[in-house]
Amino acid sequence: MSRIRRPRSMRTAAGLALMLLALASAWLYPHSTQSAYIGPGAGFAFLGSFLTLVAGFFLSLLSLLLWPFRMAWRAAGRRQGFRHARVRKIIFLGLDGLDARLTERLMAEGKLPNLAALAAEGGYRRLRTTCPALSPVAWSTFATGVGPGKHNIFDFLDRSLKSYLPELSSARVGKAERVLRIGRLRIPLTRPPIELRQKSQPFWKILGKQGIGSTILRVPITFPPEKFNGRLLSAMCTPDLKGTQGSFSQFTTRVETAIYENGSRYPLHRVAGGFAGEIEGPQDTFIEGHPVLRIPFRVTVDHGAAELHAQGRRCRLEPGEYTGWQPLSFRTAIGTKAAGMARFLLTETEPEFSIYMSPINIDPERPALPISHPSYYASYLAGLLGTFATLGMAEDTWALNEGAIDEDAFLRQAYDIYAEREAMFLETLESTRRGVVACVFDTSDRIQHMFYRRVGTADGHARTIEEMYCRMDDLVGKIRPFVDRDTALFVLSDHGFCAFRRGVNINAWLSDNGYLHLHNGAREGGAYFEGVDWSRTRAYALGLGGFYLNVEGREAQGIVARGPEAEQLEREIIDKLSALRDSDGAAPIRAVYATRLLYHGPYLDHAPDFMVGYNEGYRASWDGAVGKVSAQILENNPKAWSGDHCVDPALVPGVLFSNRKFDAADPGIEDLAPTALELFGLPVPAWMDGKPLMVR
Amino acid sequence: MLGTNIKIKKDLWTKVKKVAAAGGYSSPEEFVVHVLEREVAKLDDAQSDEEIVRKLKGLGYID
């Protein structure tokens, strides 16, 4: 029962803690009398405590005496782990979303010399991605070597089988089970559960059991971090301090009252010598009703120079220049503090005055939630290299979508985050002699999402994506000094990219074709299935990849019987939806897949029943992805978020480079985990779907 | 992860190991946890709509 057993180090820690407690008690209360409570049970209580202290003392003593032997045993285990290894070190450099076609074109034009050299030295292939071609799904497959049916991540979103409401597919942060109520105070007596919903086992955990350590930096779907023999910094889906996936704030004289959207706009009041406002932080869960915690701030303006004053600190605001990470400490009703940090940007000064504030990231030096393993690793990195963004999707795409920052400001932010990550990665490479180092950079994904519409235009950002590819190539050059003859280097991406010009609302299509019904014959519904009549609905869509049948006995209000009825309906929907045409006759959908034929594994019942393989230029519409039935099935995408990869996986393969020659005609992202095990001379577990690349 | 150990009879554990391997689980523990979670989920309270919307806020891919 290794997954649920208290680790050895924790038992040692508990023993030491007991011993310290015993010594402290003896020192603090040498002759104290037990006068506060006399009655039945007092003797038992005293005897119980005494026996605990004695047992704790001897266990601690034993633990200390055995310490050298345990260390020797561990060292022997490490040596044993590398006994059959063909390499001493494996480096995985993940460049999220690096597109195969564009990479190949730029290599042919001589613009990616380091990647081209790597391909010539070892090898290059297009890398088959998962279905759907989404980062949480594909990186989970990278980590575990299994398909979605075995790792349980099918999309960014999953649905509640009871309420049909969406949930994050990767992690769940719950509420404390037991709470003590004192007046308006609410004191949790248990820790709120934080659960990683990804299943199976990452390869670094398997390596760790054999004494081969790994450092895993920002590989998606690692929040909350799980214990293993190594170090890990969590990535995608790590929330901000408010518990959201990233809520920016804009403080502006343009609004009178707060407006809450994907980001929020708050009024900035003119006062003598400047402006005043309030930063909204997390909710105070220690008080009934969970009021929002706030930090008042002031901005002074003197001869054009602006300064932000908050919590006794001040920082200079220069137009167009981000501040460094500013600590923000939110004090709760019981006096505890939630530590966050944010960066500010002065975006306009006259006639209106506006300041952008990034989402409040969890402060890595004092993390409010677990964001690393060991827990002190995030603080260690921050102490060593300076603080860094901790939010899962740290680049603020919504601030650009909603015009709170412009394209230049978005790019600066993205490259600042890139620089933090690069420093972390290079330092880890510097200090790692053997084992695995894996680091994923999101810059490549976010810049393509936000600048795809500029490609081929006369705009100043027409070459921004190309320049980003060159920056990623430079990074490959920077890590080459760490690659010796005993090191295997893999540079890979989880999927490619293409344009997102038109959105397809599958819910609207299901409604038009009689598979989904709204109450009172309405033509449009609200987000999260508002207005849907479940008693007559046979199919519904949620998320970016697929859609579901409303199955009897699975969904709370399911009406489709499993077996022949479901299979007949499945065939009917696939035939009809595949024939969908846009107004110009183009086919938005390349293929519709029945997932019972696509996936295998124990979590198949959690999967959408269908996956939609969109054609290039199309994607699930913004409204459809959140369960809204809109009037139109097809609509233009007006947002800056203009590139995407949520299309048929065959259209967006990733890339795979290595310094080692490898044989594999059609490598898939599931092959990397077994390859790592094979290179270290370990057997590939039978449950893994991937096959080791024949690395020479 | 701190947790609780549960004792299972050897015969049952042998069967659990076989079923877990055949089912594609990475360990018998994963199989046992999955079966238990599936049952416990039937009793779980649903979160409020506002809480769900708040937690998903800011995810770049959805509006």
Residue A630 CB neighbours (<10 A): 18
Beta bridge partners of A245: none
Beta bridge partners of A526: A530
Q: Taking an 8 Å Cβ-Cβ cutoff, which residues of chain B contact chain A?
A: 1-6, 21, 23-27, 29-31, 33-34, 41, 44, 46-47, 49, 52-63
Phi-psi region of A360 (alpha: psi -120 to 50; beta: other; left: phi over 0): beta
The per-residue pLDDT for range B40-55, each reduced to its tens digit, is 887 776 666 777 778 8
> Is residue A77 very low, low, confident or very high in pLDDT (cuts 50, 70, 90)?
low
CA distance A345 to A603: 45
Chain B nearest CA to A122, separation (Å): 32
Report the pLDDT averaged over residues A59-72. Answer: 83
Mutate to test the interface with B, among A687, A688, A689 (most CBs of B within 10 A): A687
**Do residue A165 and residue B33 have CB atoms under 8 angstroms apart?**
no
* E strands present in A166-323: 166-168, 171-173, 179-182, 185-188, 194-196, 214-217, 230-233, 249-252, 259-260, 264-267, 269-271, 274-283, 292-302, 305-310, 313-317
Chain A residues touching residue B31 (CB < 8 angstroms): 602
How high is the pLDDT of residue A45? Answer: 39
**Do residue A528 and residue B53 have CB atoms under 8 angstroms apart?**
yes
Chain A nearest CA to B11, separation (Å): 16
Handedness of CA A626, A631, A634, A637 (dihedral sign): negative
**Do residue B56 and residue A168 have CB atoms under 8 angstroms apart?**
yes
How high is the pLDDT of residue A387? Answer: 98
How high is the pLDDT of residue A313? Answer: 97
The per-residue pLDDT for range A472-483, each reduced to its tens digit, is 999 999 999 999
Is residue A282 over pLDDT 60?
A: yes
**Do residue B58 and residue A161 have CB atoms under 8 angstroms apart?**
no
> Is residue A79 very low, low, confident or very high in pLDDT (cuts 50, 70, 90)?
low
**Do residue A165 and residue B2 have CB atoms under 8 angstroms apart?**
no
CA distance A10 to A67: 14
Is residue A28 over pLDDT 60?
A: no
Residue of A nearest to B45 (CA): A162
**Which pairs from A302-309 meet CB under 8 Å and 24+ separation?**
A302/A273, A304/A349, A306/A274, A306/A346, A306/A349, A308/A344, A308/A355
Burial of A311 from C-beta contacts in 10 A (0-12 / 13-18 / 19+) = middle
**Do residue B62 and residue A625 have CB atoms under 8 angstroms apart?**
yes
Is residue A30 over pLDDT 70?
A: no
- DSSP per position, A428-458: HHHH--SEEEEEEE-HHHHHHHHHGGGTTSS
- Rounded to a whole number, what is the largest CA-CA distance in chain A? 91
What does the block give as tokens for A64? 């200390």
Chain B residues touching residue A10 (CB < 8 angstroms): 2
CA distance A451 to A400: 11
How high is the pLDDT of residue A49? Answer: 56
Chain B residues touching residue A226 (CB < 8 angstroms): 1
> Is residue A9 very low, low, confident or very high in pLDDT (cuts 50, 70, 90)?
very low
The per-residue pLDDT for range A338-375, each reduced to its tens digit, is 999 999 999 999 999 999 999 999 999 999 999 999 99
Is residue A322 over pLDDT 80?
A: yes
Chain A residues touching residue B22 (CB < 8 angstroms): none
Over chain A, what is the mean pLDDT? 92
Chain B nearest CA to A53, separation (Å): 22
**Do residue B4 and residue A4 have CB atoms under 8 angstroms apart?**
yes
How high is the pLDDT of residue B23? Answer: 97
Report the pLDDT averaged over residues A62-76. Answer: 80
CA distance A659 to A484: 10
The per-residue pLDDT for range A627-654, each reduced to its tens digit, is 999 999 999 999 999 999 999 999 999 9
Report the pLDDT averaged over residues A231-249. Answer: 96
C-alpha A628: how far from chain center: 25
The per-residue pLDDT for range A180-231, each reduced to its tens digit, is 999 999 999 998 889 999 999 999 999 999 999 999 999 999 999 999 999 9
The per-residue pLDDT for range A123-132, each reduced to its tens digit, is 999 999 999 9
How high is the pLDDT of residue A57? Answer: 84
The per-residue pLDDT for range A652-675, each reduced to its tens digit, is 999 999 999 998 889 999 999 999
Chain B residues touching residue A449 (CB < 8 angstroms): 60
Chain A nearest CA to B4, separation (Å): 6
**Do residue A199 and residue B26 have CB atoms under 8 angstroms apart?**
yes
Is residue B24 over pLDDT 70?
A: yes
pTM: 0.89
Q: Which of A6, A166, A248 sits opposite B52 (nearest CB)?
A: A166
Chain B residues touching residue A1 (CB < 8 angstroms): 5-6, 29
Distance set, CA A557 to CA A125, A534, A549, B42, B46 (Å) = 46, 6, 11, 14, 15
How high is the pLDDT of residue A68? Answer: 83
Chain B residues touching residue A5 (CB < 8 angstroms): 3, 5
ipTM over 0.85: yes
Chain A residues touching residue B61 (CB < 8 angstroms): 156, 544, 625, 646
Share of chain A above pLDDT 90, in %: 84
> Is residue A304 very low, low, confident or very high in pLDDT (cuts 50, 70, 90)?
confident
What does the block give as tokens for A72? 């020797």
How high is the pLDDT of residue A52? Answer: 65
> Is residue A174 very low, low, confident or very high in pLDDT (cuts 50, 70, 90)?
confident
**Do residue A156 and residue B54 have CB atoms under 8 angstroms apart?**
no
Chain A residues touching residue B4 (CB < 8 angstroms): 4
**Do residue A687 and residue B4 have CB atoms under 8 angstroms apart?**
no
CA distance A363 to A371: 10
**Do residue A686 and residue B21 have CB atoms under 8 angstroms apart?**
yes
Nearest alpha-carbon partner for A345 in A362, A358, A364: A358
